[in-house]
Chains A and B, each alone.
Chain A
Amino acid sequence: MPQKASQQGRIKHRSTLKLDSPPPSKKFKATNSVMTLSLSPCSVIKPRNKPPSIPHLSKTSWPVTAITKDAKGKGKVTRDVHAESSDDRLWVDKYEPRSLEDLAVHKRKVDDVRRWLAEAFSEIGLSKHRRLLILSGPAGSGKTATLRVLAREMDFEIAEYKNNTNSTQFSALTGEPSTSDTQDTFATFLNRAGSYTSVFTSARRRLVLVEDLPNILHPGIRARFHDTLRVYVERASGVVPVIIVVSDAGLRTEGDSSGGRSLDLVIDARTVVPPGLPDSLFSEIRFNPIALTLITSAVRRVMDLANVRLSPSALHTIVEGAGGDVRSGIMTLEFSCGHPKSRKQSTRLSVGSIVLVTQREEALLLFHLVGKIMYNKRKGDSPSRSASRKDIARDRALDQSLKDPPPLPLWLAAEERRTSRVDVDALFTSTPIDASLFGLYIHQNYTQYCTNLEQCNSNGPENWYDANPHAFHIRALGTLHSLPSPVSSTGQRIYKPAFFDALQRERGARDALDYTSNWLSSTRLWPLVAMTTELGGILRVLGRRAPHGHHTFSELVFGRDSVGAKAMTEGDVEGGVVDYDEGETRESHYLEDDDIEDW
């Protein structure tokens, strides 16, 4: 193949553009690690439907030569890799959607993207304002897939930027990775991708896809990234549209402690776009988690292609478990169909094992958790007015699956309750917070849901203290037991505990006390209680001569309350609050931590 040889020569020479072949997919990295060792920071990806002129490039197996070079360029390792027949790829890549029909994304979303692309590629009109597009959405919602399908349909070429982690240059003096290098590669890539076309291409139009972002959490790198983007986007002409794909980080889960603490640490559309860029210059299209029906059909399609069969219930479990993530759904399917070699036989799997495979540790939103407890649904509740028929049917099915407990003896008749629809064990496994914080939320909210005072009375949280391994269950069950059923709905809202606000102000007051104590005497320790309870009068008389900030503990005006609980919304994550609780409350004097169970 003389043609190929010359290309490779050129690639080596320029060492910025490299042909990754055959499968231009981000998953490929994982399946065939040799490819990632490439020196070049970018790869030009060809649309999947290869023009007929070079069909053999991707369809047949042929030796790929990957060139590796260590950082200083001393040695060269050349390895021949026989890309095996595409069998070894994951199903997600192997059976990736090829046409609009296959795509599990909602048609309207696809239309949005297509319209944007059409405008961007048009010679006149809006193209000036269609230079930067952010595709955001949860993982597996088909952002990249949509682009690839559209690339095929609209006949354009995608040049994808890839970080090259292997060629990180260490500066000889400091031993630190020189960030400027990696950053420059992005700028270089953007410029070149904008100006040159791939040697293979027959497509007239191109766009630049940035999925593998540089480490923009680093302020310096982010600044440069923004600069590069801004300069590029604001250029007068000859600009190839740039599409940046941003996957939302899973902020909901407990493990992600960084979530919500600071906006800086979260990659979203706002961090990617250079600040101050006029709105007209970029657009964002948000992808939503994919609907169950769409995932079902996508999984079905893969099943057909891969020639496996599953019982409807197993399919249902897979789809449910995917949680709006097509990729996860297909992965589960592949995994549950067993070893690749033996997958020729159609496998039948028990639903149970699929549940094992698919179960995600997705935390229940705090909002829903508190709501579930507070609304205290019990067997035989009449459905709410807004409930759809499906909801009613589901409730009925649930009721049938619930077993009534044996009746209570006569002397406990007052404690008789209808069977609860709330599965406390399930709540416990999916709770995003620990029991003591849960207690605070319950405490903050339960009173609103009581219709008369007696229901507040034997309420769970008060009667047990924290040093109890079953605290969560006791609280949940105790609260459920005491709440009226059905709960009267009078437009209650769920509030965040006012506790933290109060605690913060208490700490402020404590600082003021320290200060006052120093002011009072340099050789004597004033008892705190005496300061808070006895000093008020004299401090007021002292007026301006009194120590600064003393009013935080000495002044209390009835009716001027600032402890207001904030209402919670569905979007709230517990991140910030939890950290606060774990880290800080322990310091406080009146809030002893769980050490108390030591004795």
Chain B
Amino acid sequence: MLWVDDYRPRTLNELHYHVRLSQRLKSLAGSGDFPHLLFYGPSGAGKKTRIAATLNELFGGGVEKLKIDQRVFITPSRKKLDVNVVQSNYHIELTPSEVGNYDRIVIQEILKEIAQTQQVDVSAKHRFKVVVINEADSLSRDAQAALRRTMEKYMTNLRIILCANSTSRLIAPIKSRCLLIRVAAPSHEEMLTVLNHVAKRAGAGLLPQDMADEIITDANGNMRKAILVFEAMKMQSPDLSSSPPIVKPDWETYCYKVGDMIIQEQTPQRVMEVRAKLYELLSHCIPPTIILKTVADRVVQKVDESLKADIMHWAAIYENRMRLGNKKIYHLEAWVVKVMSLYKQFFLGIELGDLDDFI
């Protein structure tokens, strides 16, 4: 087990930061009238920890008796979908976006099943069960529409807790049916508290201040990442005396190098080389959106001020297209070609305005 899982707060009282949010959640859980919730915020901010803690507040310790199941769903075209589901007597948690475009089927089946069964446990605090849906912002529109309908229909038997990075990809009807709860990234000090707490519980001794600062800066508000890095460091030097440098993850350096490739040369030949790199990234399961974002960040650092806005503008456009279409590689590559061509035009001193007219 990793520290992230081991020393994770179980109840709302144990949470270290966003104290007022914890209080609100507590009173919500105690009020007896519990709404659908939508937790949103950057990754590693503690959304799922708060969801688990809220469930604990709602139903008591019983929610911690968990088991992971693999559920099989069958599409109308007789395709089998395997979805991992975490379940207790009171709730069920799943990530429907795992199955891509078939998420609607998973949502419908699961919700129908939960909604049509009554809570049999008489000692249960609430009559409803809770369905936790992870990565709600990657749900397809179909799935979101299906969700919206169910939320109204089965209010007596079930509550839904959605967990998303941002609300921008959720359709408005869903947002309006939920109580929106923003979980902001922890501040530097808050992260420091948590890291020290983890260090104490893990028996790692005192965490040196400069090392903590380094970890926190690198994590950029991602608590999970910070703890993972901390644990890795602890493994490398058990007494924490010499702090080993924080290494960037492979994929990140890789993306930076791809960005550099784009800047160095703008030829069809180079496009093909970049394509090979992109394929490599994709085949390591790095989400295309993250690839695009990281490469774009890198490119923007290197180019002239006047180009930055354009590059990001096109990154946004191709990111959108990537979601609409399939075959992510097309859109990634299209963006690469676009950036190369912008960069080249810039150096040739051609008015960019002309170009935009007929694109």
Contact = CB atoms under 8 A, between A and B. Distances in A.
Interface of A: 414, 436, 439-440, 443, 447-448, 450-459, 461-467, 498-499, 501-503, 505-506, 509-510, 513, 517-518, 520-525, 527-530, 532-538, 540-542, 552-558, 561-564, 586-596, 598-599
B267 interface: yes
B251 A532 contact: yes
Given A448-B268, A586-B79, A595-B101, A556 B284 contact: yes
Interface of B: 1-2, 5, 43-44, 66-68, 79, 84, 86, 93-95, 97-102, 134-135, 140-142, 145, 222, 224-225, 228-229, 231-232, 235-236, 246-247, 249-254, 257, 266-269, 271-272, 275-277, 279-288, 290, 321, 324-331, 333-334, 337-338, 340-341, 344, 358-359
B42 to A, nearest CB: 12
Contacts of A443: 327, 329-330, 333
B288 A590 contact: yes
Contacts of A555: 250, 284
Nearest to A555: B250
A326 to B, nearest CB: 44
A188 to B, nearest CB: 46
B268 A523 contact: no
A591 B97 CA distance: 12
11 contacts: A436-B327, A443-B333, A457-B338, A461-B330, A462-B331, A533-B290, A534-B225, A553-B285, A554-B250, A561-B280, A594-B326
A451 B266 CA distance: 11
Contacts of A518: 68
Nearest to B318: A462
Given A534-B225, A534-B249, A593-B326, A505 B66 contact: no
A569 to B, nearest CB: 20
Contact of A453 (B247, B271, B277): B271
Given A443-B333, A447-B268, A586-B79, 9 more contacts: A440-B327, A459-B337, A465-B325, A466-B325, A499-B327, A529-B43, A556-B254, A561-B276, A590-B328
Given A529-B290, A534-B225, A453 B100 contact: no
A436 B325 CA distance: 11
B282 A452 contact: no
Nearest to A531: B285
B285 A556 contact: no
The 10 A-B pairs of least Cβ separation, nearest first, read A465-B325, A462-B334, A556-B250, A505-B283, A523-B66, A536-B249, A592-B101, A502-B279, A563-B279, A450-B268
A509 B1 CA distance: 21
B250 A589 contact: no
Contacts of A517: 84
Nearest to A445: B272
A272 B281 CA distance: 46
Contacts of A505: 283-284
Nearest to A593: B101
Given A448-B268, A596-B324, A533 B286 contact: yes
Contacts of A552: 284
A491 to B, nearest CB: 13
A521 B1 contact: yes
B181 to A, nearest CB: 18
Q: DSSP majority for the A interface?
A: helix
A592 B326 contact: yes
A517 to B, nearest CB: 8
A596 B334 CA distance: 21
A538 B253 CA distance: 16
Contacts of B282: 502, 506, 590
B257 A558 contact: yes
A447 B285 contact: no
A527 B134 contact: yes
Contacts of A520: 1-2, 5
A589 B5 contact: no
Contacts of A466: 325-327
A527 B4 CA distance: 13
A353 to B, nearest CB: 41
A525 B134 contact: yes
Contacts of B338: 457
B9 to A, nearest CB: 13
A281 B341 CA distance: 64
Contacts of B79: 586-587
B226 to A, nearest CB: 10
Given A465-B321, A466-B325, A525-B84, A509 B283 contact: yes
A439 B284 contact: no
A236 to B, nearest CB: 58
A525 B99 CA distance: 15
B280 A562 contact: yes
A498 B279 contact: yes
B24 to A, nearest CB: 24
A93 to B, nearest CB: 47
B280 A563 contact: yes
Nearest to A556: B250
A535 B228 contact: yes
B64 to A, nearest CB: 8
Contacts of A558: 253-254, 257, 277
A314 to B, nearest CB: 46
A465 B324 contact: yes
Contacts of B266: 453
A218 B331 CA distance: 47
Task: Tell me which of A537, A562, A588 has the highest count of chain B C-beta atoms within 10 A of its own C-beta.
Answer: A537
A536 B251 contact: yes
Given A532-B251, A596-B324, A563 B287 contact: no
A523 to B, nearest CB: 4
Contact of B86 (A464, A525, A527): A525
Contacts of B93: 525
A499 B44 CA distance: 32
Highest count of chain A CB atoms <10 Å: which of B86, B102, B327: B327
